[in-house]
Structure 1
Amino acid sequence: MIQVRVGAFFLTCLLFLGLFAACAPTAVDHEQVSESDKIVIRFSHVVGEDTPKGQAARLFAKLMKERTNGKVEVQVFSNGSLYKDSEELNALAEGHVQMIAPALSKLSNLVPELGAFDLPYLYSDLDGYHRVFDGQIGQAIARKLEKHNMLLLAAWDSGFKQFTNNLRPIREPQDMAGLTMRIMPSAVLGQQFNLLQVRPIEMNFNDVYLALEQGKIQGQENTISNIYSKRFYKVQNYMTLSDHGYLGYLVVIDRTFWNRLPAGVQSVILETMREVTNWERTQAVKLEQAKLQEIYNCRCIQIERLTETQKAKWKQFYQPLYADMQQRLGQDFFRELNLTP
């Protein structure tokens, strides 16, 4: 008898609470969008989150969610967690991801003109590269990428590349002879290191740390933010601040996917990407300064800095590479780069 009364009491309470909840005002989350209405953009890249590209990708995702009230969800996959750098282009072409931001070198097989930006000491500051990519050459590159079903959204910086290695300080070109160095896939980079009598090894970015640690390669070239985020400086003895090459990324979206997007969403993507690009370029400089100071502070690697006179000698050393590239791409293109009279 007691058990029946207790059960009835709890049943009455539950009914009362249910009626109360039904009558109470309900909180509405205006950012909630049904799964059928949501647009998902999978954005894959291979560098760390604490790099200019990594931070910009996250900012882009955040702003897109805010500005579309949750209708557009940009899912960012960093550190090659989804695809390695050698796999990204295929993943984009097959529709497994919708956005990638590969290094210029990775696209040079599709757009040969991009190989020119692997030339060492092409411009002395980042503004030189910005002028090119934001101008007529950038528009021509965009048109060529469209033939490969990619829409160019932006050009982002990582910064200038530096050398690290385990054998000796690098001050002159001859100091490189005999080293085994990791490079990105690029005919121009291969020629560059062959001139230095280096054995270049093409390797996925996320495999480099282990290869350095195990002694499979003796050195590599990269920007400060990548050297820091991947902790290359902890498995290398020497770093030369050479500023010898530019590392930039082209942010592209699958063109078929883009054409299916509503015009309003396309407009928000373009405007947001312009803002994020301006922010990213400024952040790249700030991060380089901050991370370089942290590497100095660790006192775990010997750091050399090339003087302007030394850099001029290096650029002169690379003139055969410039002559070969000019022959391949044409004098008119080099004139557009402001490299010939």
Structure 2
Amino acid sequence: MRIANKIGFVFAAVLLGLLPACAPRVIDHEQVSKNEKIVIRFSHVVGEDTPKGQAARMFAKLMKERTNGKVEVQVFSNSSLYKDSEETDALQQNRIQIIAPATPKLSSLVPELAAFDLPYLYSDLDRYHQVLDGPVGQQIAASLYQQNMVELAYWDGGMKQFTNSVRPIRTPEDLAGMTMRIMPSAVLDQQFKLLQVTPVEINFNDLYSALTKKQVDGQENSISNIYSKRFFQVQKYLTLSDHGLLGYVVVMNRDFWNSLDPETRRTISLVMQEVTDWERQQAVQFEQNNLKAMSNCQCIEIDRLSQAEKDRWKEFYQPLYQTMEQKLGTHFFRQLNPQP
């Protein structure tokens, strides 16, 4: 976090040299007198009743309150503006100003983000937060800046779990022969191919239909997404594997950010920090509540992996860790401090 500090530290010279980009602004004399209202379009692909969906709405509400209506954040959920395969390009062209994609969706632009697709990288959310909020997260922010993006926050979707319609999953061998939906990511592609799975890239909001039509056997996702999108209605088995974090990077178009006055940038930074703290707590609460609801409805068989079973999965993935260390470099990989 600490957006202004990060950008000032890494890109002070660049910031001073850039000219303000055109920002969508409208005049609303009733609410902000003669001042210009700043309109920020925030697009995301998940439902409103998810941690990310609620955090986006809270950010909009607080920005309006803290700026006395000067800043209007318009939130577009459920891919109502752009699909997840389209939103990055839309952001870079300033057709929208904020997106919050899952980390794999930016890994082709920022290879360091691919490290967070490694299964069982960390055993708990606190460790993910320590790394993303520290020097590694700052290094990723610097790389994002070069791609015309300013990192505003790292949000949680929750730990990833497997669902499928074929059989219960407890060992890596149980997935062999299945087709599974993945997000665009070379690491996820390799991860599932190690499992002898056929990975298929499908947009998030097309996934329910794909599962219904048996175009894929299963998928991996957070409990809140599995519940809010009703995947449990078209899948037979849910494995609580906690095999990775479904994390989101909240990013703003860099040229738009540079066009804002310092006080507005400061307010965005402070509000985003407040919302991020709240969002991370909500992600845990959503997971507990949604899992309880699915358990009570008895509409999907739920299995939870033991720690010994999780250790076996991590051992299975060691070749992928070795490949990633070679790709990202030993220095960066050691900063992650992955547990053996």
Q: TM-score of the superposition, structure 1-length normalised?
A: 0.90
Amino acid at match of 1:81: S
1:107 aligns with 2:109: no
Q: Aligned pair 1:322/2:317, yes or no?
A: no
Which residue type is aligned with residue 44 of structure 1? S
Could you tell me how far apart the structure 2 residues matched to 1:67 and 1:41 are? 15
| Cα distance between partner residues in 2 of 1:339 and 1:203 | 29
Residue of structure 2 equivalent to 1:87: 86
When residues 257 and 71 of structure 1 are mapped into structure 2, their CA distance, relative to the original with a 3 A threshold, is same
Q: Offset at 1:36?
A: 7.0
Whichever residue aligns with residue 199 of structure 2, its letter is P
Residue identity in the other structure for 1:241:
L
State whether residues 31 and 70 of structure 1, in contact with CA within 8 Å, keep that contact through their aligned partners in structure 2.
Answer: no
Within a 5 Å distance, the mapping from 1:1-341 to structure 2 comes to 32-33=31-32, 37-339=36-338
Q: CA deviation at 1:33?
A: 2.7
What's the counterpart of residue 19 of structure 1?
none
3-state SS, counterpart of residue 159 of structure 1: strand
Distance 1:145 1:118 in 2: 17
How many residue pairs get matched?
Answer: 313
Aligned to 1:22: none
Q: Which residue does the alignment assign to 1:5?
A: none
Deviation of 1:340 (Å) = 7.1
Would the alpha carbon gap of residues 221 and 31 (structure 1) be closer, same or farther in structure 2, given more than 3 Å must change?
A: farther
Cα 1:323–1:254 shift into 2, 3 Å: same
Report the Cα offset of residue 159 of structure 1: 1.1
Whole-Å separation in 2 of the counterparts to 1:102 and 1:308: 30
Contact 1:331–1:340 (8 Å) recurs in 2? no
Distance 1:246 1:95 in 2: 28
Q: Rg bigger for which structure? A: 1
1:117 deviation in Å? 0.3
1:8 maps to none
The one-letter code sitting in structure 2 at the alignment partner of 1:289 is Q
Measure how far apart 1:331 and its partner are: 1.3
Q: Is the 8 A contact 1:46 1:78 kept in 2?
A: yes
Two-structure CA RMSD over aligned residues (Å) = 1.5
What per-residue deviation string (whole Å, max 9, x for no partner) do you get for residues 100-155 of structure 1? 01111011111111111000000000111101111001111111111111110100
Structure 1 ranges of 4+ moved more than 2 A: 33-36
Is the Cα–Cα contact under 8 Å of residues 162 and 243 in structure 1 kept in the other structure? yes
Percent pairwise identity? 67
Q: 1:30 to 1:68 in 2, by over 3 A?
A: farther
Residue type matched to 1:252 in 2? V
Residues of 2 paired with 1:198 and 1:340: CA distance?
Answer: 25
The 3-state SS of whatever aligns with 1:123 is coil
Q: Distance in 2 between matches of 1:131 and 1:299?
A: 36
Aligned residue type for 1:144: S
Q: 1:243 is paired with a residue of what secondary structure?
A: coil
Query: How far did 1:31 drift?
Result: 7.2
Residue 35 (structure 1) shift: 9.1
Distance 1:324 1:303 in 2: 32
Q: Distance in 2 between matches of 1:165 and 1:282?
A: 28
In 2: Cα distance, 1:35 partner to 1:202 partner: 48
Contact residue 29 and residue 35 of structure 2 kept, 8 A: no
Superimposed CA distance per residue, residues 65-93 of structure 1 (whole angstroms, 9 cap, x where no aligned partner): 01111110000000111100000011111
Q: TM-score, normalization: structure 2?
A: 0.90
Verify the 8 A CA contact 1:30 1:69 in the aligned structure 2: no
Q: CA deviation at 1:263?
A: 1.1
Q: Structure 2: where are the runs of 5+ without partners? A: 1-27
| Alpha-carbon separation, structure 2, partners of 1:229 and 1:36 | 40
2:172, 2:194 → 1: CA distance?
9
1:79 partner letter: N
- Structure 1: gaps of 5 or more residues: 1-28
- Contact kept in structure 2, 1:31 and 1:69, CA below 8 Å: no
The separation in 2 between residues aligned to 1:30 and 1:68, in whole angstroms, is 15
